Every structure is written in structure tokens, then in C-alpha cells.
């Protein structure tokens, strides 16, 4: 959660915060985000970011422990918001509304952001699983995971872990279910295929439900 800063440089929690530090962090994030959006992950190097931001390397390392943490913060900035769901209708209707919304959000994101799995499952995060996905001692990575969770996974959790869904679907592997529903959307983006419309999302949902014996 972002803490607001007043004109005297005092945050809303009562802590002193140097406005100059905020400005240098903002410049670094602006630079990293621009490089990521225009050139992909490989473009976000320490040298490139500090040069574009006109900030010293030492200053960068006062804000971020590593280039990976800076990259995580840039990813979080570029994630498109996911609209709120109405929560109306049966299980199929809710899944279709959510999947259609997710498809539009993923399609609007730069392809580098869609490839955020590189970061979320990257070499510094061995042993990743959905159970401890939000657990890490690296604040920027934790922030990115929290953003991904809140904007993307949480919506599926609210539907698939509702009493009605549990009763209808029975026992199943939740992570596999997420992959079956969201996987086609991400693969379509990464492979630069024609974006999936509502009809394709409807087919994905119906196939998912049919595989679990739920009639559409």
C-alpha cells in the first residue's frame, strides 16, 4: 500500500520521509518502466536505468537491493487493472464474465508484462508454489506478487472457492484449474496470436466445467 506524503515530507503514518528520496525513487521507476515497456526485460539494466533517470548507481542501491527488485517494481507499475466483477449469475456466468475481463486486461498489457512469469517464477524464487506465493523477504517481489494476487488470482479465488463452486466441482487441483482457465489467455498473448474473444472464453469455461462433470 502506498503511503501518502504531505507538503512537509511527513507521511500519513507519521514517519519522516525525505521528498528528495521520493523524487529519486520516482525517477528510477519512471526510467525502468519506460525501458521495460519499450525494450523488454533485457533493456532494464542498472546502467541504462541510472543514465535515463540521471541518478547515481549508489542512489539506486539505496532504494533497491538489486536490479531484480527494480524490475519487479517496474512490472507492478505496468500491470493493467482488472475491472470489478458483478458477482451475479451461476458459476458458469461468473467464470465467463471474469475470463472475458481477464482476456481484455492481458491483451492490453505490453507483452513483456504478460511474461511476468519470468520474474514470478525466476531463479531467485526457487520452490515457488501458490501456497507461499506471497512469502518472500524481498519487498519489491512481495509487492509484485501481492499486486498480481489482488488483480488477477483473487477474483478466481472468490468464485472457485465459493460454497456453490466447491459443491459443483468437487475435489480438484486448484492450481491446475487456474492454469486451464488462464493459460490459454497468456499463451495467446505470448505467441502473438489473435486475441481471444468472448466466444473463445465461453469455450474455455464450458470445457473446464464439462471436464468436471458440470453441465453448462
Three-state SS for the chain is: CCCCECCCCEECCCCECCHHHHHHHHHHHHHHHHHHHHHCHHHCCHHHHHHHHCCCHHHHHHHCCCHHHHHHHHHHHHCCCCCCCCCCCCHHHHHHHHHHHHHHHHHHCCHHHHCCHHHHCCCCCCCCCCCCCCCCCCHHHHHHHHHHHHHHHHHHHHHHCCHHHHHHHCCCCHHHHHHHHHHHHHHHHHCCCCCCCHHHHHHHHHHHHHCCCCCC
Mean pLDDT of 57-71: 87
Residue 126 has pLDDT above 50, yes or no: no
Mean pLDDT of 8-21: 52
pLDDT tens digits, residue range 17-47? 567 788 898 999 999 989 988 887 788 899 9
Whole-model pTM: value is: 0.59
Residue 61 has pLDDT above 50, yes or no: yes
Binning pLDDT at 50, 70 and 90, where does residue 75 land? confident
Task: Report pLDDT for 53.
Answer: 94
Task: Report pLDDT for 36.
Answer: 84
Q: Give residue 62's region: left, alpha or beta (phi > 0; psi -120 to 50).
A: alpha
Residue 213 has pLDDT above 50, yes or no: yes
Nearest to 116 by CA among 78, 70, 81: 78
Q: Is 126 exposed, middle or buried (0-12, 13-18, 19+ CB in 10 A)?
A: exposed
Distance of alpha carbon 5 from its chain centroid, rounded?
Answer: 25
Task: Report pLDDT for 54.
Answer: 93
Task: Report pLDDT for 206.
Answer: 94
Give pairs for 124-132: CB < 8 Å, separation 24+: 124/68, 129/175, 130/174, 130/175, 130/178
Distance CA(18)–CA(206), nearest Å, equals: 54
Distance CA(143)–CA(153), nearest Å, equals: 14
pLDDT tens digits, residue range 176-209? 888 889 888 878 877 778 888 899 999 999 999 9
Amino acid at each position: 500500500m502506498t503511503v501518502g506524503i504531505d507538503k512537509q515530507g511527513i507521511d500519513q503514518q507519521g514517519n519522516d520521509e525525505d521528498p528528495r528520496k521520493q523524487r529519486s525513487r520516482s525517477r528510477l521507476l519512471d526510467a525502468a518502466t519506460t525501458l521495460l515497456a519499450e525494450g523488454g526485460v533485457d533493456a532494464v539494466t542498472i546502467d541504462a536505468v541510472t543514465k535515463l533517470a540521471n541518478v547515481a548507481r549508489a542512489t539506486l542501491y539505496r532504494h533497491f537491493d538489486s536490479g531484480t527488485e527494480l524490475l519487479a517494481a517496474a512490472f507492478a507499475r505496468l500491470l493493467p487493472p482488472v475491472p470489478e466483477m458483478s458477482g451475479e449469475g451461476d458459476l458458469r456466468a461468473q467464470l465467463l464474465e471474469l475470463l472475458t475481463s481477464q482476456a481484455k486486461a492481458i491483451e492490453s498489457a505490453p507483452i513483456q508484462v504478460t511474461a511476468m512469469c519470468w520474474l514470478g517464477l525466476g531463479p531467485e524464487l526457487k520452490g515457488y508454489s501458490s501456497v507461499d506465493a506471497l512469502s518472500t523477504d524481498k519487498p519489491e517481489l512481495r509487492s509484485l506478487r501481492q499486486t498480481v494476487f489482488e488483480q488477477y488470482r483473487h477474483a478466481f479465488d472468490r468464485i472457485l472457492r465459493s460454497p456453490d463452486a466447491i459443491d459443483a466441482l468437487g475435489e480438484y487441483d486448484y492450481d491446475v484449474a487456474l492454469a486451464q482457465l488462464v493459460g490459454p489467455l497468456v499463451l495467446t498473448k505470448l505467441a502473438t496470436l489473435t486475441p481471444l474473444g468472448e466466444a473463445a472464453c465461453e469455450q474455455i469455461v464450458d470445457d473446464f466445467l464439462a471436464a468436471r462433470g458440470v453441465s453448462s
